[in-house]
Structure 1
Amino acid sequence: MININCIYLLIVFSFLILFNLSAQPAPKYEVRAAWITAVYGLDWPRTKATTPAGIQKQKEELVEILDKLKEANFNTVLFQARTRGDVLYKSDIEPYNSILTGKSGKDPGYDPLAFAVEECHKRGMECHAWMVTIPLGGRKHVASLGKQSVTRRQPKICVPYKREYFLNPGNPKTKEYLMSLVKEVVERYDVDGVHFDYLRYPERAFRFPDSYDYRKYGNGRSLDQWRRDNITEILRYIYKGVKQLKLWVKVSTCPVGKYRDTSRYSSKGWNAFHVVYQDVQGWLGEGILDQIYPMMYFRGNAFYPFALDWQEQSNGRHVVPGLGVYFLHPSEGDWSLDEIQRQINFIRNHHLAGEAHYRVKFVTDNTQNLYDILQNDFYAYPALQPPMTWADSIAPSAPSELKAEQISEGYTRLHWKASTDNDKQNTPTYVVYASDELPVDTQNPANIVATGIRETEYIYAPILPWTTRRHFVVTAIDRYGNESEPSAPASRY
């Protein structure tokens, strides 16, 4: 009898052969994300903000990254806002990260998260605050934070383990502390999402020092189940807290890339459920997150069956596999580019919500021509955010009274009457479509010429004079991703 795994492998290899040849048609709705890593200055910043010139240079470095992402039609930035017990925004709770100025707690002279949000929105991209949750860093790092460290301010929720410090998931006060940080970010900044990294126990932490808490709070559960429940309770508490503040802010995590063994393939001892106590499928089933970005930095059959498993268990939430594009670099893994191409094709063919690239430097540095292949092939046209229909499914009203006025050779000024939305706290943004044919096909992403427009006018300027289009429509999109019907067309003659 043929083993079911063998049959599955044959199917997978057939996919690989088929989807390696060319990119699938670009979807209209797709998350295209990149992680901007601040820890150790891996992606940003390179310059210290210790002088006015340094501040300006630091800002310019971030703008350069965002410009390149925009040019390649990325639509989501995962901006590192908290590392290990320190932050990259103005906080009343934790100190500034030393990477900004060279000294822990020193004000860089501007607010990096506020700047990142503003610049992302200028480019029609979402900005999610990426926050490392449980780890607090090694002893030297914790000592550098001095009395501002949470280990000094709230020592009862912190534990040392293997020469590092961690928040203790078994202490009920931990979730309250993390929520206080999230509350600062969500209330003070116009972020589109909060993205939780390392929401888990350390790897294979069988001797993690939580025996006292287990005896006190275990209530007859096994140690493994109690630990999983602790992580779930933290996420549940924060998710509900975020939604009470701003319902439209997306809550996401980046769990270990394999949930656990599947009927198709073994996780080979490394998975979220058993090794780090993340019950991610439970989170999806309960609906206590909006998106997951599983860290799927694997090749071949260590990727495909597990990506499919995430999608099958998604409960309608957005599954956005994290791709290990850093492995394209010779010093990291020297993968061939077609490995990433096949993964994106697989994601699209199986209708996952999109993909995220770890890290942005390997994208913008055009490692093995990755940036070129994304810009010219996979991301040749813009894409809209998949909607969060479980939070709100009512689209704004259609823009009205669209006018098109030629203001110079090739340049067209569009203006329209604003849309309204059922959520009165939000002002819709707009998408401009252009075509040489009527009716303008708003299902074709090739017709999207601008996204994230926050005013009720737009200057259409084609890249080349001979690419000028004559017919236009505009739609409105709310903060949940619901798109309105198009306006009546306007034409330039």
Structure 2
Amino acid sequence: MSVRAPRLLAAAAALALLAVVPLAPAAPAAAAAVTGCPADPATPKHQMRAMWIASVVNIDWPSAPGKSQAELQAEYDGWLTLARSLNYNAVIVQVRPHADAFWPSPYEPWSQYLTGVAGQDPGWDPLEYLVRRAHEENLEFHAWFNPYRASMPAPGGAGTDVAKLPENSPLRVHPEWAVPYPVNNAAGRLYLNPGIPEARHWVETAVMDAVTKYDIDGVHFDDYFYPYPAAGQDFGDDATFAQYGGGFAGKADWRRHNIDLLVQEMDARVHAAKPWVKFGVSPFGIWRNQAADPLGSDTNGTQSYDANYADTRKWVKEGWIDYIVPQVYWNIGFTVADYAKLVPWWADVVAGTDVQLYIGQADYKVAAAGQPAAWFDPRELSQHLTFNRDYPQVLGDVHFSAVQVRADRLGAETILAAEHHSRPAFPPSWGPAKPLLFPVITAARRTAAGNALRWRPTASGTGPFGAVASYGVYRFDGVTAPAACDLADAAHLVATVRGTEWTDAAAEPGHHYTYVVTALDRLWHESPAGPPRWV
């Protein structure tokens, strides 16, 4: 058993003592049923398909500060509609851009990207709406937190001036935690000092406030731990190193230890509270180059191990995260950092662990000024996903960012969708499974809107494991009795649904169809198919 499994089981057992239904460690019946069946790699049944929705400086959502509640909700609904139309199954939404919050946090001020004024109450709870609406569309919701950044440059942000932060900002309360970086630079920001234990605990507690209050599916950290280095400047933590760095030969090892502690402690706290919530990180795409470390990749770019003090390979090997999304933001054949060399390297890193690997895709580079010629080929992104098929450890992709997906420059997103997302897919299953009973279709009839189906809710256990969260609907042409192998991939999957009814608007009048429905728990383990019904 790998390192993740016993730790999740231990966390779940702890919750069982608090009246949560205990685990039954059985394999999902549907998985066993399709073992050995041929599956088309172009239509996988389980694959992470997500897009980042960035709130910082109003990149994606909100598109501008000061919009009304109705405008913001409609705008967000538009992103969910886009995701569903392209057969995505998850959104990763930035809800803590820099020591602020998109929910009524007792620890940090309201984000300025909502109203245009840092600390100003928008009069509603955005995070509640974000999570609820994503789930209504049967999309996973991963809450994206930036751990240590505490301001953005002026104008529009506080820059390096603590006095310009809202009164309830953690750095107004604890100015001794603040590190301005770069200093004497218009691009300067404030950071919570990762070397101060109390500051690290504050970050964890601020994040856990969202974890405990909202039904999120994942906690997501980006690549900003220690800030990327500025030429000729060091991060100002000499005094902190002198106070806390005893036992470390150099500051670099101590800094990595500080980030290790954040990741390890965050993992433990998330799973102690909610074992079913995933904890993931999207680091810079290069851990280390081979020239610096024989375990590194055949690359020559910036190294997150040395630039951000993020030992991402260690986090995977230690099982401190549930998934990793390296930002492999380079084209196939790029000399400094070749996509075709980095993906195999990351696949090898996660091999033999329980950590799931998704690849961060640079949709923003398509047809962008100054990019290599490869990014002016409308097929570059699609070729990335085709390349991934040769590496079974790659379980999906995350795209940066929503506005780029919508822009569909050169038709690249249309090509990608046609060649890789032609059918719906469930996110990858993970964690402990509990047997699920199959659902039974109770009504199937032709209506003016299409073929209307209704099924009886699947009886199953309560609690986080084993409870049914959603359903998969499969359609077959003609009157038939589908075999287990017919459900081995998503070739016949037409919908993923929360609720117990669905109308197939694409069904053609006068044609005969066979439908079966399966049940899925919130960790995406699938039941056997229920009895077929014909329309």
Name whichever of 432-441 and 282-291 sits farther off: 432-441
What's 1:306 paired with?
A: 342
The Cα shift of 1:463 comes to: 1.5
Question: SS state of the match for residue 65, structure 1?
Answer: helix
Q: Say if 1:385 and 1:481, in contact at 8 Å, map to a contact too.
A: yes
Query: How far, CA to CA, are the matches of 1:447 and 1:269 in structure 2?
Result: 43
Structure 1: any 5+ residue segments left out of the alignment?
1-22
- In structure 2, what residue type is equivalent to 1:216? Q
Superposed CA offset, 1:50-85 (max 9, x none) = 5xxx32122111111110110110011011101112
Query: How far, CA to CA, are the matches of 1:464 and 1:427 in structure 2?
Result: 27
1:168 aligns with 2:193: yes
Q: Say if 1:97 and 1:104, in contact at 8 Å, map to a contact too.
A: yes
What's 1:291 paired with?
A: 323
1:153 aligns with 2:180: no
Q: Say if 2:364 and 2:401, in contact at 8 Å, map to a contact too.
A: yes
What's 2:30 paired with?
A: none
Match of 1:257 among 285, 289, 292: 285
1:329-348, aligned counterparts within 5 Å?
Answer: 329-331=367-369, 333=371, 335-348=376-389
**What is the number of residues matched between the two proteins?**
462
Query: How far, CA to CA, are the matches of 1:295 and 1:424 in structure 2?
Result: 31
Relative to structure 1, the CA distance from residue 152 to residue 139 in structure 2 (aligned partners, 3 Å threshold; closer, same or farther) is: farther
1:108-123, aligned counterparts within 5 Å?
Answer: 108-123=122-137
Query: How far, CA to CA, are the matches of 1:397 and 1:231 in structure 2?
Result: 39
The Cα shift of 1:47 comes to: 5.0
Larger relative contact order (Cα-Cα within 8 Å, sequence gap ≥ 6): 2
What's 2:402 paired with?
A: 360
Structure 2: any 5+ residue segments left out of the alignment?
1-39, 183-187
1:85-100, aligned counterparts within 5 Å?
Answer: 85-100=99-114
- In structure 2, what residue type is equivalent to 1:278? A
The Cα shift of 1:337 comes to: 2.1
The Cα shift of 1:48 comes to: 4.4
1:189-268, aligned counterparts within 5 Å?
Answer: 189-204=214-229, 207-221=234-248, 222-262=250-290, 266-268=298-300
The Cα shift of 1:312 comes to: 0.7
What's 1:4 paired with?
A: none
Q: Say if 2:382 and 2:416, in contact at 8 Å, map to a contact too.
A: no
Query: How far, CA to CA, are the matches of 1:196 and 1:320 in structure 2?
Result: 14
Match of 2:456 among 388, 411, 416: 416
- In structure 1, what residue type is equivalent to 2:481? L
The Cα shift of 1:148 comes to: 2.2
Query: How far, CA to CA, are the matches of 1:404 and 1:158 in structure 2?
Result: 62
Query: How far, CA to CA, are the matches of 2:82 and 2:153 in structure 1?
Result: 37
TM-score (norm 2): 0.81
The Cα shift of 1:30 comes to: 0.7
Match of 2:54 among 37, 42, 45: 37
Relative to structure 1, the CA distance from residue 235 to residue 468 in structure 2 (aligned partners, 3 Å threshold; closer, same or farther) is: farther
The Cα shift of 1:349 comes to: 2.1
Q: Say if 2:287 and 2:297, in contact at 8 Å, map to a contact too.
A: no
Query: How far, CA to CA, are the matches of 1:335 and 1:417 in structure 2?
Result: 49
The Cα shift of 1:26 comes to: 2.7
Q: Say if 2:445 and 2:451, in contact at 8 Å, map to a contact too.
A: yes
The Cα shift of 1:175 comes to: 2.3
Query: How far, CA to CA, are the matches of 2:410 and 2:363 in structure 1?
Result: 10
Relative to structure 1, the CA distance from residue 153 to residue 288 in structure 2 (aligned partners, 3 Å threshold; closer, same or farther) is: same
Query: How far, CA to CA, are the matches of 2:512 and 2:123 in structure 1?
Result: 44
Relative to structure 1, the CA distance from residue 444 to residue 86 in structure 2 (aligned partners, 3 Å threshold; closer, same or farther) is: same
Q: Say if 1:462 and 1:468, in contact at 8 Å, map to a contact too.
A: no
Superposed CA offset, 1:18-41 (max 9, x none) = xxxxx9523211111101111121
Q: Say if 1:400 and 1:418, in contact at 8 Å, map to a contact too.
A: yes
Relative to structure 1, the CA distance from residue 38 to residue 396 in structure 2 (aligned partners, 3 Å threshold; closer, same or farther) is: same
What's 2:469 paired with?
A: 428
The Cα shift of 1:49 comes to: 4.5
Superposed CA offset, 1:391-416 (max 9, x none) = x1x23422244323315254232212
What's 1:70 paired with?
A: 84
Query: How far, CA to CA, are the matches of 2:256 and 2:285 in structure 1?
Result: 17
Query: How far, CA to CA, are the matches of 1:281 and 1:330 in structure 2?
Result: 31
Superposed CA offset, 1:455-485 (max 9, x none) = 3x21232314259662222222222222222
Relative to structure 1, the CA distance from residue 265 to residue 235 in structure 2 (aligned partners, 3 Å threshold; closer, same or farther) is: closer
Q: CA RMSD in A?
A: 2.3
The Cα shift of 1:186 comes to: 0.8
Q: Percent identity?
A: 28
Superposed CA offset, 1:69-111 (max 9, x none) = 1011001101110111222222111122222112112222322
- In structure 1, what residue type is equivalent to 2:415? I
Question: SS state of the match for residue 432, structure 1?
Answer: strand
What's 1:27 paired with?
A: 44
Superposed CA offset, 1:329-353 (max 9, x none) = 3336353222212111112221201
Superposed CA offset, 1:112-132 (max 9, x none) = 222111121111111111111
The Cα shift of 1:139 comes to: 6.2
Match of 2:355 among 317, 323, 336: 317
What's 1:137 paired with?
A: 151
Query: How far, CA to CA, are the matches of 1:417 and 1:151 in structure 2?
Result: 49
What's 1:79 paired with?
A: 93
Superposed CA offset, 1:425-482 (max 9, x none) = 754322122213421522230211221x333x21232314259662222222222222
1:398 aligns with 2:437: yes
Query: How far, CA to CA, are the matches of 1:177 and 1:470 in structure 2?
Result: 56
Q: Say if 1:35 and 1:359, in contact at 8 Å, map to a contact too.
A: yes
Match of 1:125 among 133, 139, 160: 139
